[in-house]
Amino acid sequence: MLLAPWALPAVLLVGCIVALRVAGAGKYRTLSLRAAHSLLQGGNLVVLDVRERAELVGGVLPGALSIPLSQLREQMDQVPPGPVLVYCASGMRSRFACSWLGKAGRQEVFNLAGGIAAWRQHGLPIAARPG
């Protein structure tokens, strides 16, 4: 079956529009360690740790709320209002969490570049495991 000459460009255009709408949903920014540390010192920031409970043994960022990524969709209402800094071990899982939070309508969502591993490697403050 042959397609009309305009069919392929039209399909590509529709695909691009859909991709842009999906990419626009769930917007977040990835922050450097320095920027994240400055935000933390400024206060008025929700810090969300999306690692699993067993991963918290080595500590958390100061003041962090722990909701594992595997439970975040069901517990999103437990994340207090305001800007949110999300992190995990390396920054990969937190990207999913940031996207979900953005799609849920959160406006200021930030992903910590490199996660807690980079944070720890740079000697930034770590708090004891919550609870």
Judge whether 90 and 18 are in contact, CB under 8 Å.
no
Closest CA to 30 of 19, 42, 39, 18: 39
- Classify residue 29 by its DSSP letter: E
- Provide the 3-class DSSP secondary structure of residue 23: helix
Our answer to whether residue 88 is catalytic in this structure is yes
Q: Which of 88, 97, 98, 118 is catalytic?
A: 88
Regarding beta strands 84-87 and 109-112, do their DSSP bridges make them parallel or antiparallel, or are they unpaired? parallel
Q: Which helix (H) or strand (E) holds 103?
A: helix 93-103
Catalytic residue list: 88
